[in-house]
Amino acid sequence: MDIFTNVEFIILLTLGFGVIAYLVGRYNKTAGAFATIIGTAITFLAVAYYGLNGELDFTADLFPAFSYGFSNLGIFFAVIVSFIFLMVSFFNPYFVGKYKYPALYSMLFMFSLAGAMGVFFTNDFLDMFFFFEFVVWTSLFLIPLGGSKKAATMYYGFSAAGSFALLFAIFMIQKETGRFNMETAFAHVFTTKQSVVIFFLFMFSGFAKLGAFPLHIWLPKVLGKAPDPISAVFSGGLEKLGAFVAIIGIIRFMPMAITDTAGLFAYLNATAFLSNGMTLLQLIIGLLGAMTIVFGTLMAIRQDDAKKLLAYSSMSNGGYILVAIVLMDSITFSGGLYHIVAHALASTAAFLAIGAVSRQTGTTKMSELGGHIHEMPITYMVYLIAIISMAGIPPMGGFISKWLIFQGVIDKGLIVIGAATFFGSIGSFLYVFRPLAALFLGQQLPQFKDKVKEAPILMLIPLLVLSALNIVTGIFPIQSMRFLNINAVLNELGLQSLVFNGWTIAGHNGGLQATLIAGMFGIGVVIAFVLFMLLKKSKQVGLMDTYTAGNFIYTEELLHYSVDFYAPLERLYEKYINIMKNFYKSLANKVKEFGRVTKYFFFTNKPEITVFWIIVVIAFLLWGDIV
């Protein structure tokens, strides 16, 4: 059998390329970065070709302590994440020279991919925790290469909380079943209390990794401050580990909590008060998903930094995924899976496009940019296509996934959640349009005149590929779903297959013929283009070609129209936005106070404190003899 079919070999090969990238990068940093392209390409091709064709070998001969198993869900995630790593790797040769430790960057990049593959392919919970932590630690040291240790610290804090929650759930499973094996755990019938606790622990871990409300604070910090390629990796790839963990918690443990109605936590399983049959447990997660959508959207609208804007966009889209999977409806769940694909493609393309601009200008602040469509037309088109998908507009993949999600939300009559999903879709168009207008349209600031050029050809390759896939997934969703075996994933998780009637996707409230919609949209674009070419063009003027009350303006930067872009809208909710930030700030201060007290009593150079604790310890040890 071909060695590339073996999962253990694929993971070890990915790790090996990380070592090679490090050794080569010590002598030539660019060559080390090119090694990441080769390594990620081999990993993706092996996982995609053999995984989607069901030909992977899961035996572990070299390290039998680790165990792997077949899972359509794992293969689905592995294909997406490895592809995102491959696309981002094309940017590495152009960015690695900016970092203090370029060889380390290349190695950790490959190690993060290897860890993610381990998470998706293992069939043992303890192994999953090991690989999960491996991803956390390797990605942790990539973040400060962008210049912010605070962002790395915040990432570690939330990741550690999620990891401990996951570990506690795993130990509960092992105590009850006697094993860490996933199949054994999934087949075991837990009590109501056990299943609900395990479920919430898994969801806490998934929320922390996905950046969902209220565990979202780290996301804009990390994606805003991390190296530009790593921001794209987080948004399009590593965040999806949170969705993977959340799916395991919802599908594998929540059903047990629902059907077992005895015990202390039975009220969480009550369905009587909801006419649509949903439980309170589902409603809680659905409402948190809705809050994630709304909060991410409102915060994205306020941002001046394009990367932080896209970070909050990633948070908002994570809310759509949570809403989709928690409804446990085959149509909505397939929309959630497809949204994972659509968001991975669109957000990666958007982050890389912003990264291409940042490489030329040295900034991602929208108030400092403008007019770069003339020098970077391809990058502009890539970002335009990406935001059309992120806003859920045809003919892009984001439209398909949101349509499927809306079907389930409307069918179950979830007014509040439905309003949040519609608000997020409308709001997403508002915030993603802002970088388009501020970075590419409008007038160029004088300091960038004749200094900005289009991205190099190697960087344009992933941008064009991602743009093409954004369009393909919107025009040919049925073929895309069949390629990714989404129905096989649904069946594996106990859900019915999505129904395809020719070129139509069947929904609760009608069908979707994406190709027809795309055709009509294309006709409209052609008509608009013809009118644009035939009608009279507006006159181009420089930024200095303006005046007020007869006086020329020489500080034109202060009048850049991207400043306070949505100021009237922002004023409506300005006083409410810092509630969560203040809560976490207060919590951090309490932790610091506790640390100072602990340091005073346990780590002190004062002899009287030391003598006190010696007496306490001796008294504790001799307590039985004393009394």
pLDDT tens, residue by residue, 229-283: 999 999 998 999 999 999 999 988 876 545 555 554 555 555 544 556 677 888 8
pLDDT at 274: 54
Separation between Cα atoms, residue 315 and residue 583, nearest integer Å: 19
Residues 6+ apart with CB under 8 A from 98: 227
- Give the CA angle between residues 392, 396, 399 to the nearest 5°: 30
Pick the range with the lowest mean pLDDT from 127-131, 354-358, 510-514, 596-600.
596-600
Is the pLDDT score of 31 beyond 90?
yes
pLDDT category at 543 given cuts 50, 70, 90 is low
Check residue 141 and give its pLDDT. 92
The answer for residues whose C-beta is within 8 angstroms of residue 230's C-beta and 6 or more apart is 109, 139, 142, 143, 145, 146
- Mean pLDDT to the nearest integer, 330-336: 94
C-alpha 44 chain-centroid distance: 19
Q: 586 versus 318: which is more confidently predicted? A: 318
548 SS3 class:
strand
* Residue type, position 534, single letter: L
Task: Name which of 315-324, 439-448, 494-503, 543-552 the model is least confident about.
Answer: 543-552
Confidence at 132, pLDDT banded by 50, 70, 90: very high
Per-residue pLDDT at 368 exceeds 90 = no
Round to whole Å and give the CA distance between 333 and 401. 10
> Between residues 608 and 25, which one has the greater pLDDT?
25
- The answer, yes or no, to whether residue 627 has pLDDT greater than 50, is no
pLDDT at res. 496: 92
φ/ψ of residue 412, rounded to 5: -90, 0
Residue pair 289/329 in contact (Cβ under 8 Å)? The answer is: no
**166-180: average pLDDT:** 91
Q: In whole numbers, what is the pLDDT of the chain averaged over residues?
A: 86
- What confidence tens digit (pLDDT) does each residue in 55-87 have? 999 998 888 889 999 999 999 999 999 999 999
Note if the pTM is more than 0.85: yes
Q: Quote the percentage of the chain above a pLDDT of 70.
A: 86
First to last CA, the chain: 72
- The predicted structure's pLDDT at residue 273: 45
Residue 539 in this model has a pLDDT that exceeds 80: no
Mean of the pLDDT values across residues 211-222?
Answer: 88
| pLDDT at res. 486 | 95
Predicted local confidence at residue 561, as pLDDT: 56
| Amino acid 584: pLDDT | 66
Which residue is associated with the tokens 């446990």?
Answer: 328
The pLDDT of residue 450 = 73
Contact in structure between 175 and 125 (CB atoms under 8 Å): no
Residue 272: the pLDDT is 42
- Above 80 in pLDDT, residue 1? no
Residue 204 above 90 pLDDT? yes
Task: Report pLDDT for 154.
Answer: 87
- pLDDT tens profile 96-112: 988 889 999 999 999 99
